[in-house]
Amino acid sequence: MAKTKTTFFCQNCGAQSPKWLGKCSSCGEWNTYVEEVVQKEEVGRGSWKQGGTKEKRASVPKRLQEINFEDQPRLITHDAELDRVLGGGIVAGSLVLIGGEPGIGKSTLMLQIALMLNQTKILYVSGEESESQIKMRAERMPLKSENCYVLSETNTQAIFQQIEALDPDILVIDSIQTLHSKHVESAAGSVSQVRECTAELMKFAKETGTPVFLVGHITKDGAIAGPKVLEHMVDTVLQFEGDRHLTYRILRTSKNRFGSTHELGIYEMRAEGLRPVANPSEILLTQREELLNGVAIGAMMEGNRPLLIEIQSLVSPATYGTPQRSSTGHDAKRLNMLLAVLEKRGGMRLGQQDVFLNVAGGLRVDDPALDLAVCASLISSYEDTPVPADLCFAGEVGLGGEIRAVHRIENRIAEAEKLGFKRIMVSKYAVKGMDIHKYKIKVIQVSKLEEMYQGLFS
């Protein structure tokens, strides 16, 4: 009988070592090495077919000019948010990984897509729920499909047997951490199992041209559980974000080989499922009956989509000596920079003030075009004077107090006009060569923070 071979794998990055190490030499994490059983490479391993891989002619190099590129049509899901995030639809043979916190709605989203594509044969494989549990969730949705098949199984060899018999057009795996392959003797969810199962599914997707969706768990730090190589193997990585106690969910792209990584999809969680939000600017703006201090509206871009979001600030005297600086949904370092600019260039005494900044709607933003709105919100709270309700902002603030131009200003102005704003304050360098008179909204051009301050309170 052959001796069992074991080796040590880092649970964070997937690095391999013949002996246990306290600190991983690849990622620098401590106490992440776990011993796992491995075995020698054998014929048929890594293949999704039970009989092993077929012999095929070796690939030969080709000139780049000789390669014929055919634009393959994408499968439209009729979910505008998912189609936008994927780059226009589902690509044949693509491997898509969706990660998110427990209870955020990953399984609901995948089941909803499976029911929505009623003309496409879809196999939904669940390793976490029974078939009756999936049926109960499907009954709450208003969608019906005769081509949605459900399989409760965790063994990859048994799953591929059913795939060969059914021949689905789309495969959904929920989740990749629950699968296990007979080629690896370690437990399900380990580095070896996740890597091996993903390799088999990737081989199946590329050989057959079948799109595969993988649902993945995340760690307490927010990263997708398993080795980092998992994110390198797949074509697209989507992050499903949001607070379980709030109604809105955000689908964000962190990697996409078939489209942009700056797109954003917004859903509203309801009892009957997830509803795509066509115009997120309306839900991100609070309906206020009266003007409030410290509130300003900023125009930002997420990919090709313009969004108007509400920035809320609270500036109050520090009670406990050391002033607090807190931001939710906004970069704390950038907030500190803007506070320093306001104190140095604007003459505001913020050294002994507590500052709290919040982006309404639960969004996490990093567009520098929101700098002007953040400064206006801070000034409004500091001066205890509200910003006019018909005014919004789009501009980057430099260290010298200058208002810098931002890209795609036409889209931002058009979005503000569509939502009923009467005025928008932008950098005068952003509208050079533009015909601003074609807009019904009044475009206010400023170049310094002093001009913005005078425009607000003069």
> What does the alpha-carbon distance between residue 412 and residue 407 come to, in Å, rounded to a whole number?
9
**Amino acid identity, position 219:** T
Q: Which residues are annotated as a binding site?
A: 100-107
- Edge to edge, the sheet with strand 325-328 lists 325-328, 353-359, 305-317, 295-302, 391-394, 423-427, 442-446
Report whether 83 contacts 89 (CB < 8 A): yes
Q: Which DSSP helix (H) or strand (E) runs through 444?
A: strand 442-446
Binding-site residues for ATP sit at 100-107
Q: What is the rounded CA–CA span in Å between residue 427 and residue 406?
A: 8
Q: d(Cα 107, Cα 95) in Å, to the nearest integer?
A: 17
Neighbours of 454 (CB within 10 A): 11
CA distance 21 to 328: 38
Name the nearest CA neighbour of 18 among 3, 4, 36: 36
Least Cα distance to 285 among 427, 403, 390 occurs for 390
Distance from C-alpha of 367 to C-alpha of 299, rounded to nearest angstrom: 9
Positive or negative torsion for Cα 106, 109, 110, 111: positive
